[in-house]
Structure 1
Amino acid sequence: MSNIAGKAYAMNVVTPSKPWLTWVNRLIFMVARGVPSVLSGLMGLSLIHFARWVLIKPSQWPDLGQGKETLRNDYMLFCSNFNGTWDQYIDAFSDGIPNGLDLFWYTATKYPQSIPVATFKNYITHNQVFTDYYYNATPGSAQRDVKSAMQVNRAISELAQAHATQSPEEFAKTYQKHLLKVQNCLGEPGFGPVASLDTERADMNRMRAVQNMATVFDYERG
């Protein structure tokens, strides 16, 4: 299990729904895509990298050698990557788009509503599927770090163009202007403070694995 990669946490939740009800969820998803303003609360949560809801019919589950399964329910798969702790994420979701969550899980079996948050957390915990392998291309950078880096990169490109055509005096003014524009984007990427024991244990396990691999590599090379 490895739900954590640097500053990011991967969440997968699988919830059952009665097949004769999931058409309601499909309609809700169509409306949400057509009227994205209903998700404005979700878009404003800067800790989220990615969030997706997918409806899966019994016939759509892959056969990976276990044989064809007989399932009575449709299932909804919720996938998300976010920064911060599990509790912070669920709290932010419940506070930010409580009505949206209730709509998206409208047909889910025994869904308790997103408020009060305690019962919602219990529901997510019961249906969460832990991640066996989680890769993050920028484990030391949160979503804001990535956006900030993109702003700095654009500023550097503009400075490079200005440097080729401006006098030293003009370029000094341009440099100061761009520096003021990106001064809040110059944070240092890296692992955040330990927010939970899960984070600490994941980092310790990852460190041991890297050290073991390095030992094997050095032995084989020597």
Structure 2
Amino acid sequence: MIKTATRSTIFLFLLFGFLGFSQNKKNFSSIPNILQQIIPNDRIDSWVLVYNSYGKNQEIRTSGGKKDYTPQFSGFNLFPTEDSFYYIAYAAGGKMNYITDLEGLRKFVGKIDNAEEAAIVLTAEGYMVDEEFKDVAGNYYEDTANYYLDLGKLTSKECPYQKTHYALTVSKSSGDVSKVKDNGTYIELYNKKCANNPRLLKIQKKEEPKDDPKKSTRRK
């Protein structure tokens, strides 16, 4: 009887602990706000985050005073898009430098200081904060040891177009990913050209000619 009561107490403790963590989950804000949480670890005199949309540059954040820089014609995205991109221009040791890809962004971030930086670093491995589906692929919670992130990943550009969501555990001390859980596909889109489109297969099945039983009888 005592053992049963003890087991029940432990189960309830674990359940309430899990529910407590779930309730503390926070949705990431917009991509520009995520990028504004960057805290570079290297010695940098100043830096500016620039958003380019349809050829027009907009400075999202400046730090350490404004410096003259050369506008860039390519950059990085935390969420797949064709019409816009970001880049960073920073001054270090009297020289201007530019970050236009995700690997360069990861190095610029350096040691992970917050959940936003954890999400940024993981984009270099193909993960993303899905702004359209934050409840499944754009949120996080944390404890004293780790960040726990729910992020999306584009797992197929072919038929069907597919996104999968993952739960990732990132160590605060080392920045290493200690656990990755595949939570399955949350978007699966077919178009008319998809040979494996279930709707198309149903239509084809309906259109298949069937044997006329009267004709079969006459043949006999």
TM-score of the two chains, using structure 1 as the length reference: 0.19
TM-score of the two chains, using structure 2 as the length reference: 0.20
Q: Which has the higher strand share?
A: 2
Relative contact order, higher structure (CA 8 A, sep 6+): 1
Larger Rg: 2
Q: Which has the higher helix share?
A: 1
